[in-house]
Amino acid sequence: MKNRPMRLQRGDTIGIIAPSSPPNLENLQNSLAFLEGLGLQYKFGSSITHVNGYLAGTDEERLNDLHTMFADPSIAGIICAGGGYGAARYTDKIDFQLLAENPKIFWGYSDITFLHTAIGRYSNFITFHGPMLASDVGRATFHEKSAQMFKQLFQPMELLYTEGFSPLQTMVAGVATGEITGGNLSLLSNGLGTQFDVDTKGKLLLIEDVDEEPYKIDCMLNQLRQAGKLYDAAGFIIGDFSNAEPKKRKVSLTLNDVLNHYLGALNVPVVRGFKIGHCEPHFAIPLGAEAILNANDKTLTILPGVE
């Protein structure tokens, strides 16, 4: 059972960091009005404007921002500016004891998946898979339904995903209960064989990705299969796989073909179509929270992520 971080209150200060690539600063600036509308103040990490090739500053600078925000008692939660690439480069240097002693809301997705998995495993508290400031909130396409998802940070609330949010497809029927884990499939695949590989035993595994061809998704699911991660899972939450179209070959398996091949015979519930990931609207969820995936009714019920 994962610990739940304390809820936010109006007037709280949140830390804004760029754990991976440099964020779009114009979009980041545009997102600040949304935070103010939630009644939140904010403080930027020191490397938020740094550019080191495809990284937002050096690994040491980004790691220091992470540590500083968790250690600072005036910071009530942390929201990532964006993803990209680079969080895994310093994950083995994180002080997980520091984080465990100062659990607080930590929110992001995409490349942040590597940090979610590591924090859940070694600091044992719930983190949040949700839209980020420069990547999503500060863009003109940011959806009102996505904005509503931030309410879960201010009071303990049960989340219910139904077809009222998006059409869902039951690939394998059944009902399963367990902690939600996972996130971006590429990052889950990258973590295999390391001390930060995803623990799927008895869990509901969320997978999502963007701009990956069916053969690449096949490759990554095969990695998870050979590592035993698919057989261990209690059920599968298939998030958004935008632009999962063949580009290199005119003749290809479809995404559905690939998902059916790896998940169709596991005899656990599998539901596809969740608007979770690189999409709008984006249904934000607490990773590490207990949930019920009912593939018969096509619903996902998630217990509160905050205390």
pLDDT given at position 207: 98
What's the rounded mean pLDDT across residues 226-235? 98
CA 28 to chain centre: 19
Catalytic choice (31, 61, 129, 278): 278
pLDDT in tens, 158-191: 999 999 999 999 999 999 999 999 999 999 999 9
pLDDT surpasses 90 at 72: yes
pLDDT at 130: 98
pLDDT digits (tens, 9 = 90+) for 236-249: 999 999 999 999 88
Residues 110 and 209: their CA atoms lie apart, in Å, by 8
Predicted pLDDT at 186: 98
Q: How far apart are CA 123 and CA 115, in angstroms?
A: 11
Tokens at residue 138, please? 């500060």
Rounded to whole angstroms, how far apart are CA atoms 47 and 179?
33
Are the C-beta atoms of 91 and 162 separated by less than 8 Å? no
Q: With cut-offs at 50, 70 and 90, classify the pLDDT of residue 74.
A: very high
287 vs 38: CA distance, rounded Å: 22
Q: Which of the four CATH numbers 3.40.50.10320, 3.50.30.60, 3.90.1150.10, 3.40.50.880 does domain 159-302 have? A: 3.50.30.60
Mean pLDDT of 2-15: 98
Q: Name the residue ranges covered by the structural domains of the chain.
A: 13-153, 159-302
Mean pLDDT for the chain overall: 97
Residues 110, 123, 135, 189: which is the catalytic one? 110
- Cα 113 to Cα 84, 172, 221, 281: the distances in Å are 11, 26, 16, 19
- pTM higher than 0.95 for the full model? yes
User: Is the pLDDT reported for residue 266 higher than 90?
Assistant: yes
Catalytic residue check, 61: no
The b-or-e profile of 118-157 (16+ CB within 10 A means b, else e) is bbbbbbebbbbbbbbbbbbbbbeebbeebbebbebbbeee
What's the pLDDT score for residue 150? Answer: 98
Architecture of the domain spanning 13-153: 3-Layer(aba) Sandwich (3.40)
- Of the candidates 61, 208, 212, 213, the residue annotated as catalytic is 208
**Residue 208 falls in the annotated catalytic set:** yes
24 pLDDT band, cuts 50/70/90, is very high
